[in-house]
Amino acid sequence: MSLESQSLRMDSIPNARDLKGYVMQDGRRVKAGRLLRSGDLSQASDRDIRRLKEEFHLAVDFDFRMEMEVSQSPDRPVEGAEYFFLPTLDAKEAQVSMEKLQGTGIRGYRDFVSKGASHPFVQEFARTMYVGMVDSEYTQLQYAAFFQKILSTPEGAILWHCAQGKDRTGLGAAFILFALGASCETVLVDYRLTNDAFAPEIERATQLILSQGGGEAELTVARSLVGANEDYFIDALDLIDRKYGSMDQYLEEILLVSPSDRQVLQDRYLE
């Protein structure tokens, strides 16, 4: 699969993609136009909103962002779709991280990429973000609620997003694909497309780091913050296997997606 084949070609919704066509281990494929992932809808064009309503018959817009993010850049509503606020990061833990970040003197995006890439706190945050999310009881409960809402929405498309549609959204996509019966490689194929979607931004961050004398360690962090770091993502999948037994056990015991629930999802979204 390529970014071209998966892209929703939205005017002003970043990283907007369809999970259509991914082949599951039983040979079935994900139906087109039912499972959509993206960045936030705050800058969505009138055409984007119309397409979500008329072309995709959007039923639910899941917003994984924190309250602060939503208040600053609220989604544009889609008529007929339910807006479901579901912050997947613990606000208390995020506040602690924000306070630590403020203590570094880093201000604004340019600082975050250039100075932050060499700061120990930011490096550790980038490295452990996914691991922390899959092991957080708060986050686990949020993704469990995500699945329960999907299960109770038999018609129309669902769309889930965070700010850029890469990290919180990427985990949501991974969990859905695994529940549908995808292999790990298929999940990683979808995950990697974020780097294609943000290729210009990643290149700008790379050049900024290099212009300030940064090396591979700094480049790794910058690319993680602007794009998607497959190694760090795999660390989280490995943790699930080590601590929870397997992804199947994690889905059933932690995210509360039973085998019968998975059958419902497969019957609904696969062909």
Of 45-54, 58-67, 103-112, 185-194, the poorest mean pLDDT is in: 103-112
- Tell me which of 194 and 93 has the higher pLDDT: 194
Would you place residue 114 in the very low, low, confident or very high pLDDT band (cuts 50, 70, 90)? low
Secondary structure letter of residue 246 according to DSSP:
-
- Tell me which of 90 and 49 has the higher pLDDT: 49
- Tell me which of 244 and 206 has the higher pLDDT: 244
Report the C-alpha gap between 87 and 133 in whole angstroms. 12
Report the C-alpha gap between 174 and 165 in whole angstroms. 13
Would you place residue 90 in the very low, low, confident or very high pLDDT band (cuts 50, 70, 90)? confident
Helices in the chain by DSSP H: which ranges?
3-6, 46-54, 67-72, 91-102, 108-114, 120-134, 137-151, 168-180, 184-197, 199-211, 216-226, 230-244, 247-249, 259-269
Report the C-alpha gap between 158 and 56 in whole angstroms. 9
What's the pLDDT score for residue 173? 98
Backbone phi and psi for residue 244, each to the nearest 5 degrees, phi listed first:
-110, 0
Of 128-137, 146-155, 188-197, 220-229, the poorest mean pLDDT is in: 220-229
What's the pLDDT score for residue 66? 92
Bridge partners, residue 63, by sequence: 85, 161
Above pLDDT 70, what percent of the chain? 92
Average pLDDT over residues 231-260: 97
Of 180-194, 199-213, 238-252, the poorest mean pLDDT is in: 199-213
Of 55-59, 88-92, 126-130, 219-223, the poorest mean pLDDT is in: 219-223
What's the pLDDT score for residue 23? 98
Average pLDDT over residues 25-36: 97
Would you place residue 101 in the very low, low, confident or very high pLDDT band (cuts 50, 70, 90)? low
Domain harbouring 237, CATH code: 3.90.190.10
Per-residue pLDDT reduced to its tens digit, 194-231:
999 999 988 988 888 888 787 888 888 888 888 999 99
Into how many domains does the chain fold?
Answer: 1
The answer to whether residue 103 scores a pLDDT higher than 80 is no
Instruction: Output the pTM of the full model.
Output: 0.92
Structure tokens at 36: 């959509």
The answer to whether residue 107 scores a pLDDT higher than 70 is no
What's the pLDDT score for residue 109? 53
Report the C-alpha gap between 107 and 199 in whole angstroms. 24
Q: What's the domain range around 139?
A: 3-269
